[in-house]
Chains A and B, each alone.
Chain A
Amino acid sequence: MKFLILSLVLAASRARAQSDEGAIPYSDEESQDERNRRELPGKSGKSTDVREETDVETQEREQSLADVDDPSKGLSLEFIGGVLLLDSSRGAGFESKPMGGLRFTWEWSRTLFSDELFRELFFVDVAWSHAASTEGTVQIHATSNYHYFSFAPAFAFPLGSKSPVSVYAQLGVGVGFNPSVLVINTEQRSATGTKLLFQYGGGLRFRPLIFTWGRKSNVNSDFEGANNGLRISFRIELTRFRRGYIDDTFLGGSVGVTF
């Protein structure tokens, strides 16, 4: 055992002794190096021409990453609420009634365009809204229901780059469905009117991001996007409906979610 330890110590010593055998001296003569470093000029020479960018490189440089910043498809479902200013048939201006409904929105420009601005410009609404009115005496009275079904494309302009707020204007068509019931004593008489509906109006639309999920990496670059998630959408609007020869005005808004 003592011999083993001594051997190990002696071996180690011998290793150190080998590393200390002395530094390898530099030659006194400078060796020739094909690069001739000491003869290099004081400034660099004319650079060579930059090569042309390839088509692929150009395409990659011009590629918009807006869909990475905001990969949402622009599909929204909203609840509509507000007040309908019914055109008074008795020529007294309007009569205000509460109005509610549902709206489905597709921001179709997000699908067709990759440009950051163009993606925000267009959407289309498919909506149903409803108001009702009851008037008359106890003996003779009538209840009228007003259903508005509309398809309305819109043009929206965002208020700032990557802004979740846009101002929009809209024009659409649809159907005004107007069932009514007249009650005389207890007898009911029903009638339903269906009229072509024109819709026009505008407002402010908001779609702020509420929370995100996951990270998405763009396989064509090293950039990693981080904005896929749920957005709340709401709007404040003034919309007019022309049903036949009658004009109604809706003041209100809607709130919902956007994916």
Chain B
Amino acid sequence: MRFPTLCGVLLLAACEPASTSPVKVMAIVANSMGTYDTKQVELTTADSVVHLSGKLLTLVGGAQVELNPADPALSTVTSEEQLLDVLMKNRGNSVRASFTEKNGVLTPLDFQSWGMVTTFYNFEQAYRYYQKIYDGKPTDELKGINVLYWAGYKDLSNGSELELRDNALYFSPVRAFMILPFDKLQKVPLSLNIGVIGHEFAHLVFSKKVFSGASLPAPITTWTLTPFNLLKSMDEGIADFHGYGVTCTTAATGAGCRASLLSDSFEDKALIAARDLTNDKACMTAELRSAFHNFQPGQFLGGGLHYKYGTLIAAALYQASAPTGKEDIMQKALINALDDDSAATPGFKQRINLYLLSPQSFTPELMAETIAAHVTDLDLRKQVCKQLSDRLQLDCVSFPCDIGGVHVMPSCDNATRGISCPTLPPE
């Protein structure tokens, strides 16, 4: 071999693997037996498989985010870019996954490379799910995602200087997803759990559709009590339902739908049960109802009550659609309900903007009405009305659930309202 050719071969051996999409890689995915295994998958949007970046998303390593309400720099912020500068103490670096290649398939060589590749794949699957339920509408607003992988995140508003662990979240102030390091969670890491990624992706969709992607939406910063608690709860509940929907896209890997998103990653059985969509006994309690109406945002969120209320919404949507196999109609209805500028069926974006200065008009009944109005299947719509009314203990007078000029719920007696939940006495 001539010397220049030898040099070229040596240099090529030292270069990154070729990244012509689709790239065949090994990832860790759920299998048909309900466990996890390695499987060959394809990354279809990666421009660089080593740096795990592409048109859809980019993984960023080593980022540091700090939320400090007492930071004096926050008082001088006048733009979202400035807010980003204040919160991002370290913008992070490119990741460099390590692979070996055999027969055109890349296999990761260390734990983090396995994790990053699988995370990238899960985000691609989630995007594919939303692309389907956007039902032909453009999805460009969902591209260009930053995923801060293994990010350092401090929330000093909690009074703690410790970096948070064991979480995955979409953080709108930095317009990025954050995958936090695990500590106490020793099962399947959250970013490897496709249901969790699907749930977090739903928050991005909610942010883009309802708040136009704003870092600090006006209702979040100005609303309190019931309107604020409802806004956060419906964000979580809809995300849980979509997270379940994303798990159904794993038919290609044989895993199938997983309604209990957290069971793969959490040990706490009570927590898992509390977020299980298949639980038809998920009902409002007097304590939750009282907190929903009377707790300030910090107290409501601090107690995780937005997850509890959100699970009631998610369970209602699941119980209405799953038994008849109409989840896809429900999923599309939820997307359409987020942003609809038609006068007859305004979406959440429109209603929130309308009631921005009179948030007391944004009620659970209005939320249920908005969702039901976008369900195209009338039988499904009836079930949605009944499930939401039952589990959330809605005021049937203000939520008649009008279908074709006929009130689905003409009276407030238990025969038409109650399905699974006992009727609570008035507050």
Contact = CB atoms under 8 A, between A and B. Distances in A.
Interface stretch (B153-161, B182-190, B201-209, B396-404): B182-190
A90 B16 contact: no
B35 A141 contact: no
B107 A89 contact: no
Given A135-B110, A246-B98, A90 B116 contact: yes
A182 B14 contact: no
A185 interface: yes
Contacts of B60: 91
Contact of B110 (A133, A140, A187, A189): A133
Contact of B107 (A144, A191, A242): A191
A198 B14 CA distance: 9
Contacts of B36: 139-140, 184-185
A194 interface: yes
Contacts of A90: 61-62, 95, 112, 115-116, 149-150
B352 interface: no
B19 to A, nearest CB: 12
B88 to A, nearest CB: 15
Contacts of A133: 110
Interface string B156-199: 00000000000000000000000000100111110010000000
A195 B61 contact: no
Interface in B285-302: none
Interface string A68-104: 0000000000000000000111111100000000000
Interface string B266-308: 0000000000000000000000000000000000000000000
B364 to A, nearest CB: 38
A20 to B, nearest CB: 101
A150 to B, nearest CB: 14
Interface residues of B, number: 44
A199 to B, nearest CB: 12
A193 B28 contact: no
B111 interface: yes
B187 A139 contact: yes
A99 B254 CA distance: 42
A212 interface: no
A72 B235 CA distance: 78
Interface of B is mostly: mixed
Give chain A's interface residue range (CB within 8 Å of chain B): 35 or more
B344 interface: no
Centre residue among A91, A137, A141 by max chain B CB count within 10 A: A91
B212 interface: no
Interface in A157-197: 178, 180, 182, 184-185, 187, 189, 191-196
A142 B100 contact: no
Interface of A is mostly: strand
Interface in A121-141: 133-141
B96 interface: yes
Contacts of A142: 110-111, 114
B38 A91 contact: no
Interface in B1-16: 10, 13-16
A191 B40 CA distance: 14
A185 B38 CA distance: 12
Given A140-B28, A144-B111, A182-B114, A91 B94 contact: yes
B218 interface: no
B31 to A, nearest CB: 10
Given A140-B189, A195-B14, A178 B98 contact: yes
Given A136-B111, A142-B114, A187 B37 contact: yes
A182 B38 contact: yes
Nearest to B60: A91
Contacts of A140: 28, 36, 111, 187-189, 192
Interface in B388-424: none
Interface string B138-159: 0000000000011000000000
A36 B358 CA distance: 144
A89 B62 CA distance: 10
A245 interface: yes
A243 to B, nearest CB: 8
B62 A193 contact: no
A189 B27 CA distance: 12
A68 to B, nearest CB: 42
Contacts of A192: 100
B92 interface: yes
A242 B14 contact: yes
Nearest to A242: B14
Contact of A87 (B96, B108, B150, B188): B96
B229 interface: no
Interface in A17-48: none
Interface of B: 10, 13-16, 26, 28, 35-38, 50, 59-62, 92-100, 107-116, 149-150, 182, 185-189, 192
Given A90-B116, A91-B61, A139-B187, 6 more contacts: A87-B96, A137-B185, A140-B111, A189-B38, A191-B26, A193-B99
29 contacts: A89-B97, A89-B98, A89-B113, A89-B116, A91-B92, A91-B93, A134-B111, A137-B186, A137-B189, A138-B187, A139-B36, A139-B187, A140-B111, A140-B187, A178-B100, A182-B111, A184-B36, A185-B36, A191-B100, A192-B100, A193-B99, A193-B109, A195-B14, A196-B13, A244-B13, A244-B14, A244-B98, A245-B16, A246-B98
- Give the 7 A-B CB pairs with smallest separation, nearest first: A91-B61, A193-B100, A142-B111, A92-B62, A135-B111, A138-B186, A91-B93
